[in-house]
Structure 1
Amino acid sequence: MIDSLVEDPLPYSGFLFLLGLLVGSFLNVVIHRLPKMIEAEFRHECATLNLGDDAPPPARASYNLVVPRSACPHCGHQITALENIPIVSYLVLRGRCRGCDARISPRYPLVELLTALLSATVAWMFGPSLAGLAAVVLTWALIALIFIDADTYLLPDSITLPLLWLGLLINLGDAGFTSLTSAVVGAVAGYLSLWTVYWAFKLLTGKEGMGYGDFKLLAALGAWFGWQVLPVIILLSSLAGAVIGIALVLAAKRGFGKPMPFGPYLGIAGWLTLLCGPQLQQLLFPTF
Protein backbone atom coordinates (compact mmCIF):
# COMPACT_ATOMS: atom_id res chain seq x y z
CA MET A 1 0.00 0.00 0.00
CA ILE A 2 2.84 2.38 0.90
CA ASP A 3 4.63 1.52 -2.35
CA SER A 4 1.51 2.30 -4.34
CA LEU A 5 1.19 5.68 -2.61
CA VAL A 6 4.78 6.52 -3.45
CA GLU A 7 4.44 5.44 -7.07
CA ASP A 8 1.01 7.01 -7.62
CA PRO A 9 0.25 10.20 -5.63
CA LEU A 10 -3.40 10.23 -6.73
CA PRO A 11 -4.77 8.01 -3.90
CA TYR A 12 -2.82 9.98 -1.30
CA SER A 13 -4.02 13.28 -2.72
CA GLY A 14 -7.59 11.99 -2.74
CA PHE A 15 -7.28 10.96 0.90
CA LEU A 16 -5.93 14.41 1.83
CA PHE A 17 -8.78 16.02 -0.12
CA LEU A 18 -11.35 14.18 1.99
CA LEU A 19 -9.40 14.85 5.17
CA GLY A 20 -9.13 18.49 4.14
CA LEU A 21 -12.92 18.75 3.97
CA LEU A 22 -13.17 17.60 7.58
CA VAL A 23 -10.32 19.81 8.73
CA GLY A 24 -11.86 22.75 6.86
CA SER A 25 -15.05 22.26 8.85
CA PHE A 26 -13.00 22.42 12.05
CA LEU A 27 -11.09 25.47 10.79
CA ASN A 28 -14.42 27.26 10.43
CA VAL A 29 -14.88 26.73 14.16
CA VAL A 30 -11.34 27.96 14.88
CA ILE A 31 -11.80 31.06 12.70
CA HIS A 32 -15.07 31.95 14.43
CA ARG A 33 -14.33 31.03 18.03
CA LEU A 34 -10.64 31.67 18.65
CA PRO A 35 -10.91 35.50 18.51
CA LYS A 36 -13.93 35.34 20.82
CA MET A 37 -11.94 33.11 23.21
CA ILE A 38 -9.09 35.63 23.23
CA GLU A 39 -11.50 38.48 23.96
CA ALA A 40 -13.22 36.51 26.73
CA GLU A 41 -9.86 35.71 28.34
CA PHE A 42 -8.87 39.36 28.21
CA ARG A 43 -12.15 40.51 29.76
CA HIS A 44 -11.88 37.85 32.48
CA GLU A 45 -8.37 38.98 33.38
CA CYS A 46 -9.51 42.61 33.53
CA ALA A 47 -12.46 41.69 35.74
CA THR A 48 -10.19 39.65 38.03
CA LEU A 49 -7.75 42.56 38.42
CA ASN A 50 -10.57 44.96 39.27
CA LEU A 51 -11.86 42.74 42.07
CA GLY A 52 -8.75 42.97 44.22
CA ASP A 53 -6.60 40.31 45.87
CA ASP A 54 -9.13 38.98 48.40
CA ALA A 55 -12.16 38.62 46.12
CA PRO A 56 -12.78 35.28 44.41
CA PRO A 57 -12.32 35.31 40.62
CA PRO A 58 -15.54 35.68 38.60
CA ALA A 59 -17.09 32.56 37.13
CA ARG A 60 -16.55 31.93 33.44
CA ALA A 61 -18.93 30.25 31.03
CA SER A 62 -17.48 27.31 29.12
CA TYR A 63 -16.57 28.51 25.65
CA ASN A 64 -13.82 26.91 23.62
CA LEU A 65 -13.30 25.03 20.38
CA VAL A 66 -15.40 22.09 21.63
CA VAL A 67 -18.20 23.50 23.79
CA PRO A 68 -20.85 24.71 23.39
CA ARG A 69 -22.08 22.86 20.33
CA SER A 70 -22.35 24.83 17.11
CA ALA A 71 -25.73 26.51 16.75
CA CYS A 72 -27.53 28.94 14.47
CA PRO A 73 -26.80 32.51 15.63
CA HIS A 74 -30.35 33.56 14.72
CA CYS A 75 -32.57 30.95 16.39
CA GLY A 76 -30.16 28.90 18.51
CA HIS A 77 -30.89 25.65 16.62
CA GLN A 78 -28.08 23.22 17.46
CA ILE A 79 -26.31 21.84 14.42
CA THR A 80 -26.66 18.07 14.23
CA ALA A 81 -24.05 15.71 12.80
CA LEU A 82 -26.04 15.25 9.59
CA GLU A 83 -26.23 19.03 9.19
CA ASN A 84 -22.47 19.35 9.62
CA ILE A 85 -21.23 17.21 6.72
CA PRO A 86 -18.75 19.38 4.80
CA ILE A 87 -20.25 21.00 1.68
CA VAL A 88 -22.91 18.28 1.33
CA SER A 89 -25.05 19.57 4.20
CA TYR A 90 -24.84 23.13 2.87
CA LEU A 91 -26.07 21.98 -0.54
CA VAL A 92 -28.84 19.80 0.91
CA LEU A 93 -30.03 22.62 3.16
CA ARG A 94 -29.68 25.05 0.22
CA GLY A 95 -27.66 27.40 2.38
CA ARG A 96 -30.44 27.83 4.93
CA CYS A 97 -30.82 27.02 8.63
CA ARG A 98 -33.08 24.05 9.19
CA GLY A 99 -34.63 25.68 12.24
CA CYS A 100 -35.44 29.22 11.08
CA ASP A 101 -34.55 29.26 7.37
CA ALA A 102 -31.97 32.01 7.96
CA ARG A 103 -29.23 32.27 5.35
CA ILE A 104 -25.95 30.46 6.09
CA SER A 105 -22.84 32.25 4.91
CA PRO A 106 -21.34 30.58 1.81
CA ARG A 107 -17.91 31.12 3.33
CA TYR A 108 -18.30 27.97 5.43
CA PRO A 109 -18.36 25.55 2.47
CA LEU A 110 -15.79 27.70 0.63
CA VAL A 111 -13.32 27.33 3.52
CA GLU A 112 -13.95 23.58 3.52
CA LEU A 113 -13.41 23.32 -0.22
CA LEU A 114 -10.34 25.57 -0.12
CA THR A 115 -8.78 23.49 2.65
CA ALA A 116 -9.46 20.30 0.72
CA LEU A 117 -8.01 21.63 -2.55
CA LEU A 118 -4.88 23.10 -0.96
CA SER A 119 -4.31 19.94 1.10
CA ALA A 120 -4.59 17.77 -2.01
CA THR A 121 -2.22 20.08 -3.90
CA VAL A 122 0.41 19.86 -1.18
CA ALA A 123 -0.03 16.09 -0.99
CA TRP A 124 0.48 15.84 -4.74
CA MET A 125 3.61 18.00 -4.60
CA PHE A 126 5.34 16.40 -1.61
CA GLY A 127 3.88 12.91 -1.41
CA PRO A 128 3.60 10.80 1.76
CA SER A 129 6.70 12.14 3.51
CA LEU A 130 7.58 14.01 6.69
CA ALA A 131 7.99 17.21 4.69
CA GLY A 132 4.61 16.59 3.05
CA LEU A 133 2.92 16.08 6.41
CA ALA A 134 4.51 19.25 7.77
CA ALA A 135 3.46 21.15 4.63
CA VAL A 136 -0.16 20.09 5.14
CA VAL A 137 -0.10 21.29 8.75
CA LEU A 138 1.41 24.60 7.62
CA THR A 139 -1.34 24.94 5.01
CA TRP A 140 -4.07 24.43 7.59
CA ALA A 141 -2.50 26.94 9.98
CA LEU A 142 -2.13 29.57 7.24
CA ILE A 143 -5.78 29.19 6.21
CA ALA A 144 -6.90 29.81 9.79
CA LEU A 145 -4.59 32.81 10.17
CA ILE A 146 -5.63 34.36 6.85
CA PHE A 147 -9.35 34.34 7.67
CA ILE A 148 -8.94 35.32 11.33
CA ASP A 149 -6.80 38.32 10.41
CA ALA A 150 -9.17 39.31 7.61
CA ASP A 151 -12.09 39.28 10.08
CA THR A 152 -10.54 40.68 13.25
CA TYR A 153 -7.05 42.13 12.47
CA LEU A 154 -5.64 39.50 14.83
CA LEU A 155 -2.94 36.88 14.31
CA PRO A 156 -3.25 34.76 17.48
CA ASP A 157 -0.08 33.77 19.31
CA SER A 158 -1.66 30.35 19.88
CA ILE A 159 -1.11 29.68 16.15
CA THR A 160 1.85 31.83 15.10
CA LEU A 161 4.22 30.83 17.91
CA PRO A 162 3.72 27.04 17.62
CA LEU A 163 4.12 27.50 13.86
CA LEU A 164 7.48 29.17 14.44
CA TRP A 165 8.75 26.39 16.70
CA LEU A 166 7.44 23.72 14.35
CA GLY A 167 9.35 25.35 11.49
CA LEU A 168 12.57 25.12 13.46
CA LEU A 169 11.88 21.51 14.45
CA ILE A 170 11.10 20.36 10.92
CA ASN A 171 14.44 21.78 9.76
CA LEU A 172 16.47 19.89 12.38
CA GLY A 173 17.06 16.99 10.00
CA ASP A 174 17.54 16.37 6.31
CA ALA A 175 13.79 16.15 5.64
CA GLY A 176 13.21 19.87 6.19
CA PHE A 177 12.94 22.76 3.76
CA THR A 178 16.26 24.43 4.63
CA SER A 179 19.17 24.09 7.02
CA LEU A 180 18.72 24.70 10.73
CA THR A 181 21.11 27.65 10.61
CA SER A 182 19.16 29.24 7.78
CA ALA A 183 15.90 28.60 9.66
CA VAL A 184 17.14 30.27 12.86
CA VAL A 185 18.50 33.27 10.95
CA GLY A 186 15.23 33.37 8.97
CA ALA A 187 13.15 33.51 12.16
CA VAL A 188 15.23 36.35 13.58
CA ALA A 189 15.44 38.26 10.30
CA GLY A 190 11.73 37.81 9.61
CA TYR A 191 10.76 39.30 12.95
CA LEU A 192 13.29 42.13 12.91
CA SER A 193 12.55 43.20 9.33
CA LEU A 194 8.89 44.04 9.97
CA TRP A 195 9.70 45.25 13.49
CA THR A 196 12.06 47.80 11.92
CA VAL A 197 9.44 48.88 9.39
CA TYR A 198 6.88 49.21 12.18
CA TRP A 199 9.05 51.54 14.27
CA ALA A 200 10.29 53.55 11.29
CA PHE A 201 6.69 54.18 10.22
CA LYS A 202 5.61 55.02 13.77
CA LEU A 203 8.46 57.48 14.29
CA LEU A 204 7.74 59.20 10.97
CA THR A 205 3.95 59.35 11.19
CA GLY A 206 3.08 58.76 14.84
CA LYS A 207 0.80 55.88 13.78
CA GLU A 208 1.08 52.10 13.93
CA GLY A 209 1.37 50.64 10.45
CA MET A 210 1.00 46.96 11.40
CA GLY A 211 0.58 44.66 14.36
CA TYR A 212 3.05 42.49 16.21
CA GLY A 213 1.32 39.40 14.87
CA ASP A 214 2.71 40.23 11.41
CA PHE A 215 6.26 40.14 12.85
CA LYS A 216 5.62 36.72 14.35
CA LEU A 217 4.05 35.29 11.19
CA LEU A 218 6.98 36.40 9.03
CA ALA A 219 9.36 35.00 11.66
CA ALA A 220 7.50 31.68 11.43
CA LEU A 221 7.79 31.66 7.63
CA GLY A 222 11.49 32.46 7.95
CA ALA A 223 11.84 29.50 10.33
CA TRP A 224 10.16 27.22 7.77
CA PHE A 225 11.95 28.30 4.60
CA GLY A 226 15.09 30.17 5.65
CA TRP A 227 16.21 33.77 5.43
CA GLN A 228 16.90 33.53 1.69
CA VAL A 229 13.21 33.59 0.73
CA LEU A 230 12.18 36.48 2.99
CA PRO A 231 12.58 39.10 0.23
CA VAL A 232 10.34 36.98 -2.00
CA ILE A 233 7.65 36.68 0.69
CA ILE A 234 7.76 40.40 1.53
CA LEU A 235 7.61 41.42 -2.14
CA LEU A 236 4.77 39.03 -3.01
CA SER A 237 2.71 39.98 0.04
CA SER A 238 3.24 43.70 -0.62
CA LEU A 239 2.20 43.34 -4.26
CA ALA A 240 -0.85 41.27 -3.34
CA GLY A 241 -1.85 43.77 -0.66
CA ALA A 242 -1.47 46.71 -3.03
CA VAL A 243 -3.45 45.09 -5.85
CA ILE A 244 -6.27 43.79 -3.63
CA GLY A 245 -6.37 47.01 -1.60
CA ILE A 246 -6.73 49.16 -4.73
CA ALA A 247 -9.39 46.79 -6.06
CA LEU A 248 -11.40 47.10 -2.82
CA VAL A 249 -11.15 50.88 -2.91
CA LEU A 250 -12.31 50.99 -6.52
CA ALA A 251 -15.17 48.67 -5.63
CA ALA A 252 -16.14 51.17 -2.89
CA LYS A 253 -15.84 48.49 -0.21
CA ARG A 254 -12.98 50.16 1.63
CA GLY A 255 -11.75 53.72 1.95
CA PHE A 256 -8.13 54.78 1.67
CA GLY A 257 -8.02 55.61 5.37
CA LYS A 258 -9.38 52.28 6.59
CA PRO A 259 -6.82 49.80 8.00
CA MET A 260 -6.06 46.71 5.94
CA PRO A 261 -4.72 43.48 7.48
CA PHE A 262 -1.32 42.39 6.18
CA GLY A 263 -1.47 38.84 7.55
CA PRO A 264 -3.61 37.38 4.74
CA TYR A 265 -1.08 38.49 2.13
CA LEU A 266 1.82 37.13 4.17
CA GLY A 267 -0.07 33.84 4.40
CA ILE A 268 -0.71 33.69 0.66
CA ALA A 269 2.93 34.53 -0.11
CA GLY A 270 4.08 31.92 2.41
CA TRP A 271 1.96 29.20 0.84
CA LEU A 272 3.20 30.07 -2.67
CA THR A 273 6.76 29.89 -1.32
CA LEU A 274 5.97 26.44 0.05
CA LEU A 275 5.02 25.23 -3.42
CA CYS A 276 7.55 27.00 -5.62
CA GLY A 277 9.92 29.04 -3.44
CA PRO A 278 13.13 28.40 -5.45
CA GLN A 279 11.38 29.20 -8.75
CA LEU A 280 9.94 32.44 -7.35
CA GLN A 281 13.31 33.39 -5.91
CA GLN A 282 15.02 32.79 -9.25
CA LEU A 283 12.31 34.76 -11.06
CA LEU A 284 12.20 37.78 -8.74
CA PHE A 285 15.80 37.87 -7.46
CA PRO A 286 17.94 35.97 -9.98
CA THR A 287 21.24 37.29 -8.60
CA PHE A 288 20.37 37.04 -4.89
Structure 2
Amino acid sequence: MAFLDQNPGLGYPLAAGLGLLVGSFLNVVILRLPRRMEWQWKRDAREILEEPDLYEPPPPGIVVEPSHCPHCKHKLSWYENIPLFSWLLQRGKCRHCQAPISIQYPLVELLTSLMVLACVWQFGFGWQGFGAIVLTCFLIALSGIDLRTQLLPDQLTLPLMWLGLVGSMDNLYMPAKPALLGAAVGYLSLWTVWWLFKQITGKEGMGHGDFKLLAALGAWCGLKGILPIILLSSLVGAIIGSIWLYSRGRDRATPIPFGPYLAIAGWLVFMWGDQMIAGYRQLAGF
Protein backbone atom coordinates (compact mmCIF):
# COMPACT_ATOMS: atom_id res chain seq x y z
CA MET A 1 0.00 0.00 0.00
CA ALA A 2 2.83 2.38 0.82
CA PHE A 3 4.39 1.56 -2.56
CA LEU A 4 1.19 2.62 -4.35
CA ASP A 5 1.00 5.82 -2.29
CA GLN A 6 4.56 6.62 -3.35
CA ASN A 7 3.89 5.71 -6.98
CA PRO A 8 0.50 7.24 -7.90
CA GLY A 9 1.29 6.85 -11.61
CA LEU A 10 0.86 3.12 -11.07
CA GLY A 11 -1.70 3.23 -8.26
CA TYR A 12 -4.33 5.37 -9.95
CA PRO A 13 -4.56 3.29 -13.16
CA LEU A 14 -4.81 0.15 -11.01
CA ALA A 15 -7.59 1.76 -8.98
CA ALA A 16 -9.43 2.79 -12.15
CA GLY A 17 -9.18 -0.74 -13.54
CA LEU A 18 -10.34 -2.20 -10.24
CA GLY A 19 -13.30 0.17 -10.31
CA LEU A 20 -14.34 -1.05 -13.77
CA LEU A 21 -14.17 -4.69 -12.65
CA VAL A 22 -16.08 -4.02 -9.45
CA GLY A 23 -18.62 -1.97 -11.38
CA SER A 24 -19.27 -4.97 -13.62
CA PHE A 25 -19.98 -7.07 -10.53
CA LEU A 26 -22.24 -4.36 -9.09
CA ASN A 27 -24.34 -4.55 -12.25
CA VAL A 28 -24.87 -8.23 -11.49
CA VAL A 29 -25.89 -7.43 -7.91
CA ILE A 30 -28.30 -4.69 -9.04
CA LEU A 31 -30.02 -6.94 -11.56
CA ARG A 32 -29.98 -10.32 -9.84
CA LEU A 33 -30.32 -9.69 -6.10
CA PRO A 34 -33.94 -8.39 -6.26
CA ARG A 35 -34.97 -11.37 -8.39
CA ARG A 36 -33.35 -13.77 -5.92
CA MET A 37 -35.12 -12.01 -3.05
CA GLU A 38 -38.52 -12.22 -4.76
CA TRP A 39 -38.00 -15.91 -5.48
CA GLN A 40 -37.15 -16.56 -1.83
CA TRP A 41 -40.13 -14.50 -0.61
CA LYS A 42 -42.50 -16.60 -2.69
CA ARG A 43 -41.04 -19.82 -1.28
CA ASP A 44 -41.29 -18.51 2.28
CA ALA A 45 -44.89 -17.35 1.72
CA ARG A 46 -45.95 -20.77 0.39
CA GLU A 47 -44.33 -22.42 3.40
CA ILE A 48 -46.05 -20.09 5.90
CA LEU A 49 -49.43 -20.52 4.19
CA GLU A 50 -48.85 -24.29 4.00
CA GLU A 51 -49.44 -24.28 0.26
CA PRO A 52 -47.96 -26.94 -2.06
CA ASP A 53 -44.35 -26.29 -2.93
CA LEU A 54 -44.34 -25.50 -6.64
CA TYR A 55 -41.23 -26.08 -8.65
CA GLU A 56 -39.89 -22.72 -9.70
CA PRO A 57 -36.30 -22.67 -10.92
CA PRO A 58 -34.23 -20.12 -9.02
CA PRO A 59 -33.03 -17.01 -10.86
CA PRO A 60 -29.33 -16.85 -11.76
CA GLY A 61 -27.04 -16.58 -8.77
CA ILE A 62 -24.90 -13.54 -8.13
CA VAL A 63 -21.50 -15.24 -8.15
CA VAL A 64 -21.69 -18.70 -9.75
CA GLU A 65 -23.68 -18.28 -12.96
CA PRO A 66 -21.78 -16.60 -15.82
CA SER A 67 -23.01 -13.46 -17.52
CA HIS A 68 -25.37 -13.86 -20.46
CA CYS A 69 -27.47 -11.78 -22.83
CA PRO A 70 -30.85 -11.08 -21.20
CA HIS A 71 -32.57 -11.43 -24.60
CA CYS A 72 -31.10 -14.50 -26.33
CA LYS A 73 -29.51 -16.04 -23.18
CA HIS A 74 -26.18 -16.47 -24.96
CA LYS A 75 -23.34 -16.90 -22.46
CA LEU A 76 -20.84 -14.12 -22.93
CA SER A 77 -17.25 -14.89 -23.84
CA TRP A 78 -14.48 -13.19 -21.93
CA TYR A 79 -13.93 -10.65 -24.71
CA GLU A 80 -17.66 -9.82 -24.66
CA ASN A 81 -17.54 -9.16 -20.92
CA ILE A 82 -14.72 -6.62 -20.63
CA PRO A 83 -16.10 -3.77 -18.50
CA LEU A 84 -17.02 -0.66 -20.49
CA PHE A 85 -14.90 -1.52 -23.53
CA SER A 86 -17.00 -4.48 -24.71
CA TRP A 87 -20.12 -2.31 -24.68
CA LEU A 88 -18.34 0.37 -26.71
CA LEU A 89 -16.82 -2.06 -29.22
CA GLN A 90 -20.17 -3.78 -29.73
CA ARG A 91 -21.91 -0.40 -30.02
CA GLY A 92 -24.32 -1.25 -27.24
CA LYS A 93 -25.72 -4.37 -28.92
CA CYS A 94 -25.48 -8.11 -28.35
CA ARG A 95 -23.03 -9.63 -30.82
CA HIS A 96 -25.35 -12.60 -31.44
CA CYS A 97 -28.95 -11.31 -31.48
CA GLN A 98 -28.22 -7.59 -32.02
CA ALA A 99 -30.61 -6.68 -29.20
CA PRO A 100 -29.70 -3.40 -27.45
CA ILE A 101 -27.71 -3.71 -24.23
CA SER A 102 -28.84 -1.36 -21.48
CA ILE A 103 -26.67 1.70 -21.00
CA GLN A 104 -26.84 0.93 -17.29
CA TYR A 105 -23.90 -1.47 -17.69
CA PRO A 106 -21.25 1.01 -18.90
CA LEU A 107 -22.61 3.83 -16.74
CA VAL A 108 -22.33 1.83 -13.52
CA GLU A 109 -18.85 0.60 -14.49
CA LEU A 110 -17.62 4.09 -15.37
CA LEU A 111 -19.22 5.65 -12.28
CA THR A 112 -17.65 3.03 -10.02
CA SER A 113 -14.23 3.57 -11.58
CA LEU A 114 -14.41 7.35 -11.10
CA MET A 115 -15.65 7.06 -7.52
CA VAL A 116 -12.95 4.53 -6.63
CA LEU A 117 -10.38 6.98 -7.99
CA ALA A 118 -11.89 9.70 -5.81
CA CYS A 119 -11.63 7.43 -2.76
CA VAL A 120 -7.92 6.69 -3.18
CA TRP A 121 -7.23 10.31 -4.08
CA GLN A 122 -8.90 11.45 -0.85
CA PHE A 123 -7.78 8.68 1.54
CA GLY A 124 -4.81 6.99 -0.13
CA PHE A 125 -4.25 3.29 -0.74
CA GLY A 126 -4.36 2.15 2.90
CA TRP A 127 -7.21 0.87 5.05
CA GLN A 128 -9.04 4.19 4.94
CA GLY A 129 -9.03 4.14 1.16
CA PHE A 130 -10.16 0.52 1.13
CA GLY A 131 -13.01 1.28 3.53
CA ALA A 132 -14.11 4.23 1.40
CA ILE A 133 -14.21 1.97 -1.65
CA VAL A 134 -16.33 -0.57 0.23
CA LEU A 135 -18.81 2.14 1.27
CA THR A 136 -18.91 3.48 -2.29
CA CYS A 137 -19.67 0.07 -3.81
CA PHE A 138 -22.48 -0.59 -1.35
CA LEU A 139 -24.03 2.81 -2.09
CA ILE A 140 -23.88 2.30 -5.86
CA ALA A 141 -25.53 -1.12 -5.57
CA LEU A 142 -28.23 0.16 -3.22
CA SER A 143 -28.97 3.17 -5.45
CA GLY A 144 -29.26 1.01 -8.55
CA ILE A 145 -31.60 -1.44 -6.85
CA ASP A 146 -33.76 1.32 -5.38
CA LEU A 147 -34.05 3.07 -8.74
CA ARG A 148 -35.17 -0.13 -10.43
CA THR A 149 -37.37 -1.69 -7.74
CA GLN A 150 -37.86 0.88 -4.92
CA LEU A 151 -36.24 -1.60 -2.55
CA LEU A 152 -33.27 -1.16 -0.20
CA PRO A 153 -32.42 -4.75 0.78
CA ASP A 154 -31.46 -5.60 4.35
CA GLN A 155 -28.81 -7.85 2.80
CA LEU A 156 -26.90 -4.66 1.93
CA THR A 157 -27.99 -1.93 4.37
CA LEU A 158 -27.39 -3.93 7.57
CA PRO A 159 -23.90 -5.24 6.66
CA LEU A 160 -22.97 -1.70 5.61
CA MET A 161 -24.02 -0.39 9.02
CA TRP A 162 -22.10 -3.09 10.88
CA LEU A 163 -18.98 -2.52 8.78
CA GLY A 164 -19.07 1.15 9.72
CA LEU A 165 -19.43 0.32 13.41
CA VAL A 166 -16.65 -2.27 13.29
CA GLY A 167 -14.35 0.22 11.56
CA SER A 168 -15.02 2.75 14.31
CA MET A 169 -13.69 0.30 16.90
CA ASP A 170 -10.24 0.92 15.44
CA ASN A 171 -10.87 4.66 14.87
CA LEU A 172 -10.73 4.13 11.13
CA TYR A 173 -12.64 7.37 10.52
CA MET A 174 -13.91 8.27 14.00
CA PRO A 175 -14.25 6.78 17.50
CA ALA A 176 -16.95 4.23 18.25
CA LYS A 177 -19.22 6.57 20.24
CA PRO A 178 -19.95 9.07 17.41
CA ALA A 179 -20.44 6.18 14.99
CA LEU A 180 -22.89 4.40 17.29
CA LEU A 181 -24.80 7.62 17.97
CA GLY A 182 -24.83 8.39 14.25
CA ALA A 183 -26.38 5.01 13.48
CA ALA A 184 -29.01 5.36 16.20
CA VAL A 185 -29.95 8.97 15.42
CA GLY A 186 -29.92 8.27 11.68
CA TYR A 187 -32.47 5.49 12.06
CA LEU A 188 -34.67 7.27 14.59
CA SER A 189 -34.74 10.58 12.72
CA LEU A 190 -36.30 9.15 9.55
CA TRP A 191 -38.43 6.70 11.52
CA THR A 192 -39.91 9.68 13.42
CA VAL A 193 -40.69 11.49 10.16
CA TRP A 194 -42.29 8.32 8.79
CA TRP A 195 -44.37 7.81 11.95
CA LEU A 196 -45.61 11.40 12.11
CA PHE A 197 -46.49 11.41 8.41
CA LYS A 198 -48.42 8.16 8.81
CA GLN A 199 -50.34 9.49 11.82
CA ILE A 200 -51.33 12.65 9.95
CA THR A 201 -52.10 11.25 6.51
CA GLY A 202 -52.63 7.53 7.10
CA LYS A 203 -50.04 6.82 4.41
CA GLU A 204 -46.43 5.71 4.52
CA GLY A 205 -44.20 8.44 3.14
CA MET A 206 -41.06 6.29 2.79
CA GLY A 207 -39.86 2.73 3.09
CA HIS A 208 -38.14 1.22 6.11
CA GLY A 209 -35.01 0.68 4.04
CA ASP A 210 -34.42 4.43 4.09
CA PHE A 211 -34.16 4.35 7.91
CA LYS A 212 -31.57 1.58 7.72
CA LEU A 213 -29.58 3.29 4.99
CA LEU A 214 -29.34 6.51 7.00
CA ALA A 215 -28.35 4.44 10.05
CA ALA A 216 -25.57 2.87 7.97
CA LEU A 217 -24.42 6.29 6.78
CA GLY A 218 -24.48 7.51 10.37
CA ALA A 219 -22.15 4.65 11.33
CA TRP A 220 -19.67 5.81 8.67
CA CYS A 221 -20.09 9.60 8.98
CA GLY A 222 -20.83 9.91 12.68
CA LEU A 223 -23.44 11.91 14.52
CA LYS A 224 -22.26 15.22 13.05
CA GLY A 225 -22.95 13.95 9.55
CA ILE A 226 -26.65 13.16 10.04
CA LEU A 227 -28.06 16.68 9.70
CA PRO A 228 -25.95 17.57 6.61
CA ILE A 229 -26.97 14.28 4.97
CA ILE A 230 -30.67 14.89 5.61
CA LEU A 231 -30.52 18.49 4.37
CA LEU A 232 -28.41 17.70 1.31
CA SER A 233 -30.45 14.63 0.33
CA SER A 234 -33.67 16.63 0.63
CA LEU A 235 -32.24 19.37 -1.59
CA VAL A 236 -30.91 16.93 -4.18
CA GLY A 237 -34.17 14.95 -4.08
CA ALA A 238 -36.29 18.07 -4.55
CA ILE A 239 -34.27 19.24 -7.55
CA ILE A 240 -33.76 15.93 -9.34
CA GLY A 241 -37.18 14.58 -8.39
CA SER A 242 -38.96 17.68 -9.73
CA ILE A 243 -37.04 17.49 -12.99
CA TRP A 244 -37.84 13.79 -13.35
CA LEU A 245 -41.55 14.27 -12.64
CA TYR A 246 -41.76 17.17 -15.08
CA SER A 247 -39.91 15.30 -17.84
CA ARG A 248 -42.16 12.25 -17.42
CA GLY A 249 -45.37 14.23 -17.07
CA ARG A 250 -46.09 12.74 -13.64
CA ASP A 251 -47.82 14.39 -10.70
CA ARG A 252 -46.39 14.82 -7.22
CA ALA A 253 -48.26 11.79 -5.92
CA THR A 254 -45.91 9.54 -7.93
CA PRO A 255 -43.61 7.63 -5.53
CA ILE A 256 -39.91 8.43 -5.98
CA PRO A 257 -37.13 6.34 -4.44
CA PHE A 258 -35.29 8.35 -1.77
CA GLY A 259 -32.38 5.94 -1.35
CA PRO A 260 -30.25 7.32 -4.21
CA TYR A 261 -30.50 10.85 -2.80
CA LEU A 262 -29.46 9.62 0.64
CA ALA A 263 -26.58 7.74 -0.98
CA ILE A 264 -25.40 10.81 -2.93
CA ALA A 265 -25.59 13.05 0.13
CA GLY A 266 -24.00 10.44 2.40
CA TRP A 267 -21.09 9.86 0.02
CA LEU A 268 -20.42 13.60 -0.34
CA VAL A 269 -20.55 14.16 3.41
CA PHE A 270 -18.33 11.13 4.04
CA MET A 271 -15.76 12.32 1.50
CA TRP A 272 -15.77 16.08 2.09
CA GLY A 273 -18.11 16.73 5.01
CA ASP A 274 -15.64 18.75 7.09
CA GLN A 275 -14.75 20.96 4.14
CA MET A 276 -18.43 21.46 3.29
CA ILE A 277 -19.30 22.47 6.87
CA ALA A 278 -16.26 24.78 7.11
CA GLY A 279 -17.18 26.42 3.81
CA TYR A 280 -20.78 26.93 4.92
CA ARG A 281 -19.65 28.51 8.21
CA GLN A 282 -17.29 30.82 6.38
CA LEU A 283 -20.02 31.80 3.92
CA ALA A 284 -22.53 32.38 6.74
CA GLY A 285 -19.98 34.36 8.78
CA PHE A 286 -19.92 31.97 11.75
Question: What TM-score do the two structures reach when normalised by structure 2?
Answer: 0.93
2-structure distance, mates of 1:93, 1:114:
20
> For residues 231-261 of structure 1, what are the alpha-carbon distances to aligned partners after superposition, in whole Å with 9 as ceiling and x for unaligned?
0000000000000011112223533111011
Q: Gapped runs of 5+ residues in structure 1?
A: none
> In structure 2, which of residues 209, 215, 225 is the aligned counterpart of residue 213 of structure 1?
209
Task: Tell me: CA distance 1:205–1:13, structure 2 relative to 1, closer, same or farther (3 Å).
Answer: same
2-structure distance, mates of 1:193, 1:284:
23
1-structure distance, mates of 2:281, 2:36:
42
Q: Gapped runs of 5+ residues in structure 2?
A: none
Matched, 1:238 2:260: no
Deviation (angstroms), 1:179: 1.4
> In structure 1, which of residues 154, 165, 172 is the aligned counterpart of residue 151 of structure 2?
154
2-structure distance, mates of 1:179, 1:19:
29
**More displaced stretch, 20-29 vs 124-133:** 124-133
**Partner of residue 115, structure 2:** 118
**Partner of residue 34, structure 1:** 33
> In structure 2, which of residues 96, 108, 129 is the aligned counterpart of residue 99 of structure 1?
96
**Partner of residue 13, structure 2:** 14
Task: Tell me: CA distance 1:205–1:283, structure 2 relative to 1, closer, same or farther (3 Å).
Answer: farther
**Partner of residue 5, structure 1:** 4
Task: Tell me: CA distance 1:248–1:272, structure 2 relative to 1, closer, same or farther (3 Å).
Answer: same
Task: Tell me: CA distance 1:7–1:208, structure 2 relative to 1, closer, same or farther (3 Å).
Answer: same
After the TM superposition, which residues 189-200 of structure 1 pair with which residues of structure 2 at under 5 Å, given as runs? 189-200=185-196
> For residues 45-64 of structure 1, what are the alpha-carbon distances to aligned partners after superposition, in whole Å with 9 as ceiling and x for unaligned?
11222336xx7x55552432
Task: Tell me: CA distance 1:3–1:184, structure 2 relative to 1, closer, same or farther (3 Å).
Answer: closer
> For residues 72-102 of structure 1, what are the alpha-carbon distances to aligned partners after superposition, in whole Å with 9 as ceiling and x for unaligned?
2222222222211101111121111112111
Matched, 1:177 2:173: yes
**Partner of residue 132, structure 2:** 135
2-structure distance, mates of 1:217, 1:9:
33
**Partner of residue 278, structure 2:** 282
2-structure distance, mates of 1:80, 1:255:
44
Deviation (angstroms), 1:265: 0.4
Matched, 1:44 2:43: yes
The alignment's C-alpha RMSD in Å is: 1.8
Asked whether the 8 Å contact 1:164–1:219 carries over to 2, the reply is yes
**Partner of residue 83, structure 1:** 80
Deviation (angstroms), 1:284: 4.2
Asked whether the 8 Å contact 1:237–1:269 carries over to 2, the reply is yes
Task: Quote the sequence identity (%).
Answer: 49
After the TM superposition, which residues 251-266 of structure 1 pair with which residues of structure 2 at under 5 Å, given as runs? 251-266=247-262
Question: What TM-score do the two structures reach when normalised by structure 1?
Answer: 0.93
